[in-house]
């Protein structure tokens, strides 16, 4: 089976004021369909840069990146945006909900860019809100929700387009411990339901919940580990 994500010798360098910074070096990574992968490491290790490339928000300086069987490393911005809208669901630390749109409208908005018929959009939005237990809040505005509820809506928005993979960027970073644990429980439930998830986190507790952990240091993958399978009677 073709991996959803395959990176080969991926590097990223930034040049400012004649200073060259190597943010990523020699990244080799595959993510299979249905995997739950956590990417961790100290501040400045390259996590955000790697996530930006995974999400087609940036392009690598070198190497190749294949998403769902399609080479995407050298695509132009417009084509990256089109693929990003269809293949990737984003869950951001800051929720990134639009304040003057309702919960329903926030979840629906990315689907309108696909020219999806209204009846299909309605079903996709309702199904996504149901999966995160937020159907009863669809007419509310973000300011009327708790942080945990806002993140659930953000997860629904990511799910509504039926993406190949969910990319979660510090999804508990703006939440208290109780709401953070609830969001992590939701991600685990989605994974058990078949979702493919790649999460960036600085919290080793949450990294340990993933099936596989990738540790970055100075732009390189320095360690990988897998969570032992739970024995069944």
**Per-residue pLDDT reduced to its tens digit, 159-217:** 999 999 999 999 998 999 899 999 999 999 999 999 999 999 988 888 998 999 999 99
Contact criterion met (CB below 8 Å) for 36 and 210: yes
- Domain with residue 156: its CATH number is 3.40.50.300
Does residue 67 sit within a domain? no
Does residue 72 sit within a domain? no
- Domain with 187, as residue range(s), is 34-47+83-226
What are the residues facing 223 on neighbouring strands? 215
**Per-residue pLDDT reduced to its tens digit, 101-156:** 999 999 999 999 888 899 999 999 999 999 999 999 999 999 999 999 999 999 99
Does residue 113 sit within a domain? yes
Give the H or E element holding residue 167: strand 165-169
| Contacts with 115 (C-beta within 8 Å, 6 or more apart), sequence order | none
Number of domains in the chain: 1
């Amino acid at each position: 089976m073709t991996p959803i994500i395959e990176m080969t010798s991926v590097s990223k360098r930034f040049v400012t004021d004649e200073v060259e910074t190597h943010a990523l070096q020699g990244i080799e990574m595959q993510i299979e369909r249905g995997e739950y992968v956590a990417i961790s490491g100290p501040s400045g290790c390259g996590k955000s840069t790697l996530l930006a490339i995974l999400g087609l928000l940036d392009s690598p300086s070198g190497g190749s990146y294949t998403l769902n069987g399609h080479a995407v490393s050298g695509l132009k911005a417009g084509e990256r945006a089109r693929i990003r809208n269809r293949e990737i669901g984003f869950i951001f630390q800051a929720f990134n909900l639009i304040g003057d749109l309702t919960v329903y409208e926030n979840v629906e908005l990315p689907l309108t860019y696909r020219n999806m018929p209204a009846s299909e959009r309605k079903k996709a939005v309702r199904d996504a809100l149901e999966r995160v237990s937020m159907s009863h809040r669809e007419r509310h505005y973000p300011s009327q929700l708790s942080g945990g509820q806002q993140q659930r809506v953000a997860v629904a928005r990511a799910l509504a387009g039926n993406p190949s993979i969910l990319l979660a960027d510090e999804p508990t970073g703006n939440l208290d411990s109780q709401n953070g644990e609830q969001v992590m429980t939701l991600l685990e439930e989605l994974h058990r339901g078949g979702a493919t998830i790649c999460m960036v986190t600085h919290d080793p507790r949450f990294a340990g919940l993933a099936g596989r952990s990738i540790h970055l240091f100075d732009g390189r993958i320095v360690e990988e580990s897998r969570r032992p399978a739970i024995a069944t009677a």
